[in-house]
Amino acid sequence: MEADGWQLVEDAEDADVAVVNTCGFVEAAKKDSVDALLEANDLKGHGRTQAVVAVGCMAERYGKELAEALPEADGVLGFDDYADISDRLQTILNGGIHASHTPRDRRKLLPISPAERQESAAAVALPGHGPADLPDGLAPASGPRAPLRRRLDGSPVASVKLASGCDRRCSFCAIPSFRGSFISRRPSDVLNETRWLAEQGVKEIMLVSENNTSYGKDLGDIRLLESLLPELAEVDGLERVRVSYLQPAEMRPGLIDVLTSTPKVAPYFDLSFQHSAPDVLRAMRRFGDTDRFLELLDTIRSKAPQAGVRSNFIVGFPGESASDLAELERFLIHARLDAIGVFGYSDEEGTEAAGYDGKLDEDVVAERLARVSRLAEELVSQRADERVGETVHVLVESVGEEDGVYGRAAHQAPETDGQVLLTSGEGLSVGRMVEAKVVGTEGVDLVAEPLFEGSPARIEEAGR
């Protein structure tokens, strides 16, 4: 868009067209997306804004249906429109009409065999998989290496897309149908984008996709992540590499070794357990049980005792019994997770589970959600207390005279896992990595004293 003469503005009221990136994952996220579209529509007539356009997963998932249900949106653009988005927006801005697409199952756009997908990928719209190089004149400092990307803030942390789509068939999840089959970005593209980000001042990258443990299977090497991580960690200027969303059923010894022993790679495990009762997991079309999951955590902590682990869980799944819920609670009590997300089950249209028998009443789901959420809050606070006395490496993310200095340790991912309040901000600035000793907690958050040269905490550490 920038190459075509468009300019990104800070304030939506200064925009000719407001483009709303929507989410189509769960009901609450879809509601937030609709609210954002309505909020953007309120700008029309009060400033420069003339049009509101929906893009993203909800726009892709519902297409024409969304356009008919939400006339406030002047356009609904699916993934296939992205390559020509500049022309699409100009047409809408000029008062023309762009016919919204009829949704289709995007899993059918690529071959079933992962090994055959890369050859076909060029003909399929894959958001985030665009050319690795910017047009001439748009790459600051980095020359032709810079990716087709613009940073929206000066944060020392940035996400980097590793892959998109998913080949798993979890019975509660609709994502594969509108995101498509799993396909990896090439390692060179991931490396080039990371180098560019480091040159822009980024100190930590977070690798994101629907399933990072599958990375490389369509490139002929299911262990490609194990070789890519050390290369990313060696990028000049980078202090930390973090991997999100790992499938427990796909964890392998080599990947655990790399995640727990590679300098600058955070020993961080965002493991998608979802439940631990065997019968519920089978109904979800997933694998594992409490004891196998605990064995996996024991293996991780035997290699990196301070490793961070987070996970999400669904309660109230169709057919979930009281004993199933008790089994999940047994797992949570013994797992010592740093962060826990708990969600109550709700039907997602187009999923297998939506047609299951054994649906629980909404009030039962709500009661179980409240019960497990209370337990989770207590457990993550206890886990934070266990870290008192540990030495952590904190990436400083905000420095304020009144609010204090905050950052995150290796076991804390951005926005989801808590943070660290540093007791002293002397000489600290955003983006600096500082060693600190944990001296207290505030719920899931930690309080830590920086180990500056000559500080009491440093002297105490040296004495040990």
Q: Are 54 and 75 in contact (CB under 8 A)?
A: yes
User: What is the per-residue pLDDT for 139?
Assistant: 47
Please say whether the structural domain 2-103 has been given the CATH code 3.40.50.12160: yes
Handedness of CA 370, 359, 246, 119 (dihedral sign): negative
Per-residue pLDDT reduced to its tens digit, 378-431: 999 999 999 999 999 999 999 987 788 999 999 999 988 999 999 998 889 999
2-103 matches 108-386 in fold: no
Question: Binning pLDDT at 50, 70 and 90, where does residue 1 land?
Answer: confident
Question: What pLDDT is attached to residue 51?
Answer: 93
43: left (phi over 0), alpha (psi -120 to 50) or beta: alpha
Kindly state the percentage of the chain with pLDDT values over 70.
93
Instruction: Say what percent of the chain tops pLDDT 90.
Output: 79
pLDDT tens digit sequence for 35-61: 999 999 998 878 899 999 999 999 999
Report pLDDT for 4.
Answer: 85
Confidence category of residue 147, pLDDT binned at 50, 70, 90: low
Write out the binding residues. Answer: 166, 170, 173
Higher pLDDT, 313 or 127: 313
Binding-site annotation, residues for [4Fe-4S] cluster? 166, 170, 173
Query: Residues 248, 251, 253, 259: what is their CA dihedral angle, to the nearest 10 degrees?
Result: -90
From CA 349, how far away is CA 346, in angstroms rounded? 10
Q: Which of 2-16, 326-340, 391-405 has the highest mean pLDDT?
A: 326-340
**CATH 3.40.47.10 matches 108-386:** no
CA–CA–CA angle 430, 435, 441 (5° rounding): 90
390-462 maps to CATH 3.30.499.10: no
**Sequence ranges of the domains in the chain:** 2-103, 108-386, 390-462
